[in-house]
Structure formats: C-alpha cells, structure tokens
A = this chain, B = another copy of it.
Amino acid sequence: MCVCSFIIHNKDTFFNNATRSRIVHHILQRIKYEEGKNKIGLNRLLTNGSYEAAFPLHEGSYRSKNSIRTHGAENHRHLLYECWASWGVWYKYQPLDLVRRYFGEKIGLYFAWLGWYTGMLFPAAFIGLFVFLYGVMTLDHCQVSKEVCQATDIIMCPVCDKYCPFMKLSDSCVYAKVTHLFDNGATVFFAVFMAVWATVFLEFWKRRRAVIAYDWDLIDWEEEEEEIRPQFEAKYSKKERMNPISGKPEPYQAFADKCSRLIVSASGIFFMICVVIAAVFGIVIYRVVTVSTFAAFKWALIRNNSQVATTGTAVCINFCIIMLLNVLYEKVALLLTNLEQPRTESEWENSFTLKMFLFQFVNLNSSTFYIAFFLGRLIQNWWTRRKVRQEHGPERKISFPQWERDYNLQPMNAYGLFDEYLEMILQFGFTTIFVAAFPLAPLLALLNNIIEIRLDAYKFVTQWRRPLASRAKDIGIWYGILEGIGILSVITNAFVIAITSDFIPRLVYAYKYGPCAGQGEAGQKCMVGYVNASLSVFRISDFENRSEPESDGSEFSGTPLKYCRYRDYRDPPHSLVPYGYTLQFWHVLAARLAFIIVFEHLVFCIKHLISYLIPDLPKDLRDRMRREKYLIQEMMYEAELERLQKERKERKKNGKAHHNEWP
C-alpha cells in the first residue's frame, strides 16, 4: 500500500504534467481494481465501518486566501469562489482551466458544456423573443381573432353531453388572442430556425470539445479496461472464462442469461411508459366525464365555471400522478438496472441514464408541464439564490482542521453528474422539441442557465466535499441523446405545425376559398370569413337523447335554437350526405400531409448540409495537430536516413570484401 499513499498524496502536484498524470491515473486505476478484487484497502475499511468517510481535502476555506499547504501555495478554492461561484461574475466566462485543475476533467467538461449551451441560447432566445413580439404586434391586425371576438351571433354547440350550455363564439376571444401569440406565420420560421440551431449547436460543440480535449491533453488518452462490478462478480463467480483482453479468468455471464435479463428490463421500461401514457389518457377521460358533472353541480359558482374547475382539478391530479410516478420510477429504474447485472460501472451508468431519461421525457409530456418545468426551475433557482445570499453571513472563525470542516459538507451525490446533465438535457429537449408551441422557451432556458451555472458552481465550491477528480474525453451517452433530440425535434415540430396549429387551414383558406382565392396573395384581408368557413353547422334536433343539452338555447335570441356550430369541415345536415367531410376537409388534410413531407425533407437536408460543411476540428487546431505530426515524421525521416546511409557504407565495405554478391 506504500505506492498508493505516495501517489494519492502527490496527486495534485502531478496533474499538470500530462505523461506522468496518465501513468499515475493508470496506477490508481490498477490499485482500485486490486482493491475491488481482493476486498482490501480503503473501500473495505469504509464498508466495515473502520473509517467513516474518505475524501480529498479542499485547499482551505473558500473565504481565505491561504491554502492549507504550508508552502504558501495559492488556495484555488478561494480563487474559484471569487471568480466563478459568486453572483457578481455572472456575465463573465468561466475559468474552465481552474475548474479542471481543481475538480478534474469530467466536471470541467460538464461546466464547459453548460457554458457553451448557455452561450448558444443567446441567439435562439433573441429570435424567440422577436417571434413572440411579432405575435404581440400583429395581435390587433389579426383577422381571425378579430372575427372570433366580434362573432356574438355565432352560437357554438355544447362541449359535453346534457349539462353543458351553448356558448357564443366571442366568449373564446381571449383564447383566440393568446393562440395568436404562439401560433402565427413566424412560428413556422422559428421552428425551422431552431432545428438548424440544434444542428449548429451540436456541430460546434464537437469543435469546442476538440479544442478542450487538445488543451487538456485528452486527445490520446483512452479509458483503461474497467474493473468488473463486485455485484457482477458475486453473482457469476461460479462460471469462469478467460478474459480475451487481460488473459485472466473472470466471471462470465451466459448470452442467454444476458438476453433474458435485457428482455425483462426492456419490458419493465415499456410497462412504465405505458403506465404514463395510460395516466395521460386517464386525465383526458376524467376531463370528458367531469365537465358534465361540474356543469350539473349544485353550487352555481362551480356550475358556471365548469370548464375552469375541470381543467384545474385535472392539472392537480396530473401533477400528483407525475410526482408519484417520478418517485416510483427512480426505484423501478434502479431495480431494473441492477437486475440487468451490467458488467462494469460505466455500463451500469449508461443503462440507468438511458432509462431515467426516457421515462422523464415521456412523463413530462404535456406542454403545461414543460412550461411549468421552465418557470418552476427558474423560480426555484431565484429562491435558492435568495437563500444563499441570506445565509451569506460572516464566517465563524473557529479553526477546525480542514478534514473536519470538509466532513461536515455534503458528499457529491451517488450518480455523479447525472442529475445536473439530466435536467439540462431535458431542458434542451423541451426547448427544441416543442418550440413551435412556445417560442419563449429559449429565453426562459437562457435566464435559468445563467443562474444555474453560478448555483452549480456555488454548490461544488462551498457546499460539497471535494469530489474525486476523474478524467473523461466527452460528455458520454448524453451526446447521443442530444443528437436523438435533434432529429426528434424536426419531426415533432413538423407534426405540431401541420396537425395541431391553425397554420395550414388558414393558408388553404387564403389561397383557395377566401376572398383573394386564386390571386396568389395571403394578406390579412384574404382571411376575411375564415372563422365562419372553419365552422360546420349542426341541427340541434339531431342530438341523441342522452346527449341533448338541458338548455334549449333560448337565452340568446328568445326563441329555441335550431342550429349550432362546431369546429370541423363537414357538410350541413340538409346535404346529400349529412355531416360528411367537405372538399375543404380533404384539401386541408392533403395540405397538412404535404407540409410534413416538405418541411421534413427541407430541414433534414439543411441539417445534413450543415453537418457536412462544418468540419469537426477548427482549422487552427487541425493545423497545429498536423504540424506536430509533421515534426515527428521529419525527425523519424532524418534518423532513418542516417541509419540507412550508415548501413549502406558498411555494406559497401563488406561488398569490397566479398566481390561475388550483388544485392
């Protein structure tokens, strides 16, 4: 164990010298392996309770400039606190080299990525704000919302069986205006922009990562062969086989066993996702059922606001279910990952990450919750910030030794940076995937992240024990997830614009049915009459008995209503095929489908072109790397040339001796 203590003690001072640090890292890895294998060393002492904790020490108090080292070395913790974790420096670049030096490459890369993402959010936030403002500015000129607000004479059919009342179309005036804010011509442009933005983001991150990897000397570094998890070893110790890499015997999981475990695990995930989807459908059914219950409620207050009451309770129930499922699912994911019996720690981590991400993504599905997610995080961060500032009282000057002071801090959580990454990647997903539904998302994300960086920094520097430094070349499985989100976002945006938004029906109306049909124009004046054209007529006497409304609609004009209107493109009741789809319906449907095809082909084409055009390495870095290679080759060339000439001379000498040979 002598080497071990020597290394650990000297680790910090070693970290700058690249070659040495690589060897040290390997030796540490090796020792860790031996420890895990033979159940000796620090971990053993920790598990059996001989030691309570083991952690690297901070370099001193984050308030004082003095390091605990006696050599008068600088206290990097204090430096980090001053120029990274304070709120005052929120507008500055992060001191990434210092972060790497103090916390290691893995944590350094997380903050590099977070900073990069935040920086890239600026243009997106700016354009998103502009799109939103465009919606606000054109609100008064919008023909559709104007028509909705003026339509006091259009009576809409009840939204539920029996107890729901007839309503004027003009009652949904506010809703129509809010819709215009998020669903206007600029939204389509913004969706294309964000798809391109996501691609550019990933492509430039590759370049940024390459620069960081070069600067931090990670280019040639490769993960060592990992040790086997003790759980895996315990489970499969009976069957052994030769490890093809190390040539030593090791426990072995049969293929059939692995497969069956994977299948069980996959069906577990599938089941959980089905539960989430069932919950969503349950909420929808709940709304349909309760809206009529509330409409028939004995309290007038609830009866008159049955819609609001339904939505309110539905949201509450949905929220409870989501929270419940979240707690439940983390347990299930842990159970399933352990059931899979991954061979190594990193396999375990990847498996768990994928499970958690998939589930969280499906769970936080509805747009309500993703807006809640943004605002919630934002408010939470502001709150934490406030609290932090208040706690920021004068430091007590009791001079505990550093190890005792650090012992009182929280250890970094068990899954490493998992929570930090998960939150950011979910945010990235919501920002790009539902961008057509909410163009302010990038702005909220930006504000959140500016706080997030400093808050995370504060946590790492002042609240947590110093984590064990570890190396990483990239952000791991998260990069693949980001790429998947990039592709998914194009598809969902195409469908959101084509199917759920009013964009396509309006275009079809303007060019084919409106007052300027056939003239190739689509200004606001061409939208005159759109609202009326998008509503179909229903004959009230066609109601089935059980769904016939209680009211006969005489509150509007004094006499019982004969007809009401509903949103669809169907023939009127007195036509050849009553309530059959009109030609306009098929027009709109064809246009919707054509839009999806055109949008997807166009955007994917742009995406591919961009990722083809942007090289993975910046020219500057590539030149530098090639220059290094060139110099090595030059040296090799000189040496080899010398050697050959020497050989040749010797050969000539020998040739003079034996005249009979010719090479």
Contacts and interface: CB of A to CB of B under 8 A. Distances in A.
Interface of A: 2-3, 6, 9-10, 23, 26-27, 30, 222, 224-225, 244-247, 491, 581, 583, 586-587, 589-590, 593-594, 596-597, 600-601, 623-624, 626-627, 629-630, 633, 636-637, 640-641, 644-645, 648, 663
Contacts of A491: 601
Given A26-B633, A27-B641, A626 B225 contact: yes
A222 B26 contact: no
B26 A623 contact: no
A641 B23 CA distance: 10
A593 B586 contact: no
Contact of A245 (B623, B637, B648): B623
Nearest to A651: B6
Is the contact region of chain A dominated by helix, strand, or loop, or is it mixed?
helix
B630 A225 contact: yes
Contacts of A244: 623-624, 627
A627 B3 contact: no
A30 B597 contact: no
B245 A663 contact: no
A629 B217 CA distance: 19
B593 A30 contact: no
Contacts of A247: 627
B27 A633 contact: no
Nearest to A608: B487
A202 to B, nearest CB: 16
A240 B637 CA distance: 26
A411 B67 CA distance: 75
Contact of A597 (B6, B593, B626): B593
Nearest to A647: B6
A640 B27 contact: yes
A514 B247 CA distance: 69
A6 B10 CA distance: 53
A596 B594 CA distance: 9
A485 B98 CA distance: 47
A660 to B, nearest CB: 14
Contacts of A246: 627, 630
Contact of A593 (B6, B26, B594, B633): B594
